[in-house]
């Protein structure tokens, strides 16, 4: 049988070093991304997202215009329906 408590064999200094390295990697990734954005600008996917937003705004404007036309013509449609019933 093993007389040592569970986890005693773990090198906790190693765990701290791993966490430190992970933090350094995160910093490196952030710096490189910032540098890339300065040099290259936004990525194509961000441009595609903005384009999709513009298309959606145009679609919404068309729907609003259609609704306004329908509301403006609503009185005409009601009179036509009344005339058909006579």
Structure tokens at 17: 């070093």
In tens, the pLDDT along 31-64 reads 998 998 888 877 778 888 999 999 999 999 999 9
Q: Which two tokens stand for residue 66?
A: 């259609």
Residue 26 has pLDDT above 90, yes or no: yes
């Amino acid at each position: 049988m093993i007389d040592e408590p569970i986890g005693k064999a773990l090198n906790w200094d190693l765990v701290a070093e791993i966490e430190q390295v992970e933090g350094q990697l995160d910093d490196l990734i952030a710096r490189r991304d910032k540098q890339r954005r300065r040099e290259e600008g936004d990525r194509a996917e961000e441009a595609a997202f903005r384009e999709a937003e513009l298309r959606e705004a145009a679609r919404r404007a068309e729907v609003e215009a259609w609704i306004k036309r329908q509301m403006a013509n609503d009185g005409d449609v009601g009179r036509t329906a009344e005339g058909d019933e006579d």
